[in-house]
Structure 1
Amino acid sequence: MSDVSKVPIEFVQRLTAAQSALYAFICGLMGGLEQAADVLQETNLVLWNRAAEYDPDRPFMPWAYTLARWQVMAWRKKQQRSRLVLDDDLVAKVAAEMESGAGAGAAEAELRALERCLAALPGRQRELIAARYERGETVRAMAARLGQPENALAAVFYRIRRALHHCITTSMATEETA
């Protein structure tokens, strides 16, 4: 269904309102923000094309989350050769937890905290994170490019991840008490 005039306005409103929750959901399943934006666009196309199948008497988000999860799985099939792809069981568990657990609000808060914490990293660390998780560069390739031992670079990533975890945890705790 690509004819805009045939899509009910209520569906358009629900789809528009769901964008940040869908993005947070997809980010939670994928980990990479750049790839998540691409999958969100694919999800939006699928939702739009299947608008006629949506029952307005039923909740929109569970239906949208299901289709988003399918899009993540389709993306994963294309990326099977990459070691950055999570296994199917883990994706299913994360999806179930995000769909039923804390809800989209918590996922959005975590995403905001992650973005704040990433922005607070020193420039070199931000560049390393971007190379590894946004552009998909391997630690081995990065180590060769930077002229560093691979295990030394892996230790740097461990410290960065630990610092991000601490920052996000602290940020979330501060947000909850505010």
Structure 2
Amino acid sequence: MLLPEDEAPRVLQGSAPGPGGPLGLQVVDYDQSGGIRFAGTAPPGASIRIYVNDRPAGEVAANAEGRWTMAPQEVVSIGRHRLRLDQIAADGAVAARIELPFQRDPIPSATLPDGRIVVQPGNNLWRLARAAYGRGIRYTVIFEANRDQIRNPNLIFPGQVFTIPAPPATPADSSRSR
């Protein structure tokens, strides 16, 4: 179907989930000890029930911006799992549902030499830089050191092994007179 030339483009179907939008999962993040964190979007104030392998993992409400985050108390073992998110309506019925598989892999950082890291699900250059240098904006240091593996700094993938250069020495404060 062609639109008349003077008519503005419009979305005919679907939309990208965003803050305050439909139920969405954006982050599955875990650590070496088995702790895990889920985060996503939902309509503001919506109640979300989270299940791992059909076992209740917790319940959370979306904040005023339509974002939610939840860290279950129970440790999630290494291996494949099934995650289910249920958005609960006021009457207690399921208003929206997302089901998807995820895999928690072992984090082999102890087997790597210092200055190297294996990218894990949920990592991005900003988070890696914040952990290594205390400031996310330093992601460019990691990007430059790994340019042979990174074509787009917004796209890194689990399993990639990056060099994390030592933090540069802080320059002397030149504003002081001697």
For the aligned pair, the TM-score class normalised by the smaller chain equals under 0.3
Relative contact order: is structure 1 or structure 2 higher (C-alpha 8 Å, sep ≥ 6)?
1
* TM-score, structure 1 as length reference: 0.26
Identify the structure with the greater strand proportion. 2
Report the TM-score, using the length of structure 2 for normalisation.
Answer: 0.26
Q: When you count helix as a share of all residues, which structure comes out higher?
A: 1
